[in-house]
């Protein structure tokens, strides 16, 4: 049995999120998904998600291609591997060859874990959705 693992904030769930989850599940027998906690999001990206952690977990849990949902409480993917012993990890190609991932890639190579990089969905992201919402709110003016 091939166990796959991926993580994400999954805020303002959109087609890019669904693409990664569907593609990942097609390449493994069991897909474990780590949903980033609000605290980790605040620490890592210096912003709070729009949708609370518990609700994001519930959304991801109810996607049919996802087998197991866990809290992602650290950015240390190798620590996650120690706990879960997955065979393959799926990430967006925006991480490919970044300095941080070169070190992680080496550790996973040594452990026999394959990393699969999926194309980042250029047209849609939670950041873009938030930017569009902010722009539209500013065009409307202050709330009455």
The pLDDT of 7-36, averaged and rounded, is: 95
Q: Which of 8-17, 85-94, 135-144 has the lowest mean pLDDT?
A: 135-144
30-36 and 68-72 strand pairing: parallel
| Residue from 58, 76, 77 nearest 6 by CA | 77
Per DSSP, 72 falls in state E
Judge whether 42 and 48 are in contact, CB under 8 Å. yes
The pLDDT of 18-37, averaged and rounded, is: 97
pLDDT in the model for residue 122: 67
Going from the C-alpha of 126 to that of each of 17, 27, 30, 84, 97, the distances in angstroms are 9, 25, 26, 28, 23
Residue 72: domain span: 3-140
Which CATH number do you get for residue 70? Answer: 3.40.50.620
- Residue 39 belongs to what H/E stretch? helix 38-45
The pLDDT of 66-82, averaged and rounded, is: 96
Confidence of residue 99 (pLDDT cuts 50, 70, 90): confident
**Global pTM exceeds 0.75:** yes
Alpha-carbon span 17 to 72, nearest angstrom = 16
Confidence of residue 29 (pLDDT cuts 50, 70, 90): very high
Which residue of the set 46, 47, 64, 100 is catalytic?
Answer: 47
Q: State yes or no: is 83 an active-site residue.
A: no
Instruction: Tell me the two tokens of residue 31.
Output: 């897909």
Q: How many domains does the chain have?
A: 1
| Residue from 2, 9, 12, 21 nearest 128 by CA | 12
Q: State yes or no: is 47 an active-site residue.
A: yes
């Amino acid at each position: 049995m091939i166990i796959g693992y991926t993580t994400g904030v999954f805020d303002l769930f959109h087609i890019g999120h669904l693409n990664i989850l569907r593609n990942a599940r097609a390449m493994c027998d069991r897909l474990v998904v780590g949903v980033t906690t609000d605290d980790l999001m605040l620490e890592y990206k210096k912003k709070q998600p729009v949708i609370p952690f518990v609700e994001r977990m519930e959304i991801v849990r109810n996607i049919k291609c996802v087998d197991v949902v866990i809290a992602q409480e650290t950015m240390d993917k190798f620590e996650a591997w120690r706990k879960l012993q997955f065979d393959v990890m799926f990430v967006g190609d925006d991480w490919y060859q970044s300095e941080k991932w070169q070190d992680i890639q080496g550790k996973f190579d040594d452990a026999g874990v394959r990393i699969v990089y999926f194309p980042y969905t250029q047209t849609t992201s939670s950041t873009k959705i938030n930017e569009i919402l902010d722009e539209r709110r500013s065009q409307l003016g202050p709330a009455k």
